[in-house]
Amino acid sequence: MLDLSKIKGILFDMDDVLCHLDDDKRIAYLHALSGMAHADVADAIWGSGFEDRTDAGEFTPGEYLTEFGNRIEYPISRQEWCEYRRCGMTPYPEVLAVASRWSEQYRMGVLTNNGPLLHEEIDTLFPELRTIFGEHIYCSSQFGLRKPNPQIFLMACEALGISPAETLFIDDRAENVDGALEAGLKTYRFVSVEAFIGELMPSRF
């Protein structure tokens, strides 16, 4: 069991930790919108490295939206993009409830590999986050780096106002957990809602 007696801050990943992200639903939405084949949509958006570059802060929101539309051969609007992103997101109410309870005792933040458009639209896409995390909802593009680069965890801790040694980071990807460990954070790898509830109940903090 983790020794969390000295924890003062908690950083959550977003996708597949605070919510389930269904890529099949997102691809189906873009297919219906643009007419592009499912496999071609997936390759154009994710297989090309485009989203990784976006996560690293290479594009402004406007540039990203234009490039996104070019890649699916359809001039997608901001509203349509929000619907595309939101249709694949299903919040985990049990995890959010635990995070809400923790927010009474710990400084809370989100650190997600995502671009500036998601950051601008987060209240539309995932309104439940603001009450729990306030202004501490960080997208990797704000730091010009992506997880698992250890430096991004140090930058997020600085923004949160908590030292790495006093911060717990929760993520579903092993490489991101490893990056946080290298940066000196305490870590927990999220594998399921059930395991999370069973292993990190608030009563154990």
Q: pLDDT by residue (tens digit) across 13-56?
A: 999 999 999 999 999 999 999 999 999 999 999 998 999 999 99
pLDDT one-digit tens code per residue, 53-107: 999 999 999 999 999 999 999 999 999 999 999 999 999 999 999 999 999 999 9
pLDDT for the residue numbered 67: 97
- What domains does the chain contain, in order, with CATH numbers? 9-20+90-204 (3.40.50.1000), 23-87 (1.10.150)
Q: Are 139 and 119 in contact (CB under 8 A)?
A: yes
pLDDT reading at 202 higher than 80: no
Nearest 5°: the CA angle 170, 172, 173 is: 110
pLDDT one-digit tens code per residue, 114-161: 999 999 999 999 999 999 999 999 999 999 999 999 999 999 999 999
In the structure, what pLDDT confidence band is assigned to residue 164 with cuts at 50, 70 and 90? very high
Bridge partners (DSSP) of residue 76 are none
| DSSP calls for 121-135 | HHHHH-THHHHHHTT
